[in-house]
Amino acid sequence: MPEGHTIHRLAADHHKAFAGHKVRATSPQGKFSDSAALITGQVLETAEAHGKHLFLGFAATGWVHIHLGLFGKYTWGTGEAPPPTDTVRLRLATTNAGANATAYADLRGPTTCTLITDGEKQAIHDRLGPDPLRPGDDGGRAYARVSRSRTSIAALLMDQKVVAGVGNVYRAEVLFRHGIDPYRLGRDVTRREWDAIWADLVDLMREGVRNNRIDTVRPEHTPEAMGRPPRVDDHGGEVYVYRSADRPCLVCGGGIRTADLAARNLFWCPSCQRA
């Protein structure tokens, strides 16, 4: 689940469910118990995302900083919350006992779930690059780094100091959509190419927030439009190359390749993506 679109969606969902409400916070799993005690009874003022970082704002107490890492997941529900399982790091629930349906959110498996100050939050923003999903963030700032770098564009896109929020799926897909070989060096990416990549990330990731999944295939290339069997993938969305090494390229019919790059799986179509 967790690339930037997931986190921005979570920020919006927290806002909708909890903003302006006193919350009840518990940590059945234990690691957040002390902080949960401080949060309980406080009003959630705001929820914000930058890249893959989620910030829940409680005026009196500071911010809850959450990073899902690779395994972190949220489960949402309305009505009476069932007894939490013992891996729930943080359960937030509304406190109104009246006629309104109560809401709860269970967080499991995050890399980070801690209480931080304004200053600590600012330090996180400072070390993150521009985020295609933050209005006003500037892709040109990312290009300043990309264009000076002898690192591959595939590695640069995953570097959160360069662009915040892109993960392994968007990385593979946006490079495919722009016909760029993942091993091309950053400094060999033109300004025009980068501007197109950035604009595309803005579109794709907004769509990702809307649908809560990653879809990158243009209508004319869907398996249906190409007369191929529909794709079944547990990640849920329709993609060109991510985890697709077992099927022909939707555009050229050639083989999708996969390789290790910096301990992550890379996917690309060598005939559609030229150096």
Query: Is 3 marked active-site?
Result: yes
Among 9, 24, 52, 91, which one carries the catalytic annotation? 52
Query: Is 2 marked active-site?
Result: yes
Query: Is 130 marked active-site?
Result: no
| Whether the Cβ atoms of residue 170 and residue 156 lie closer than 8 Å to each other | no
| Whether the Cβ atoms of residue 96 and residue 83 lie closer than 8 Å to each other | no
When asked if residue 262 is in the footprint of DNA (CB under 7 A), the reply is yes
Size of the residue set binding DNA (CB under 7 A): 34
When asked if residue 3 is in the footprint of DNA (CB under 7 A), the reply is yes
Pick the piece of the chain touching DNA (CB under 7 A) from 67-75, 178-186, 215-223, 248-256: 67-75
- C-alpha span between 224 and 119 (Å, rounded): 51
Site for DNA in 143-162 (CB under 7 A): 158, 160
Query: By rule CB under 7 A, what string of x and - marks binding of each residue 13-52 to DNA?
Result: ----------------x---------------------xx
Site for DNA in 198-237 (CB under 7 A): 214, 234-236
When asked if residue 187 is in the footprint of DNA (CB under 7 A), the reply is no
Site for DNA in 89-118 (CB under 7 A): 89, 108-109, 111
Among 145, 221, 257, 264, binds DNA (CB under 7 A): 264
When asked if residue 130 is in the footprint of DNA (CB under 7 A), the reply is no
When asked if residue 73 is in the footprint of DNA (CB under 7 A), the reply is yes
Query: Is 264 marked active-site?
Result: yes
- Contact residues toward DNA (CB under 7 A) are 1-3, 6, 29, 51-52, 67-73, 85, 87, 89, 108-109, 111, 158, 160, 167-169, 214, 234-236, 243, 262-265
Catalytic (active-site) positions: 2-3, 52, 264
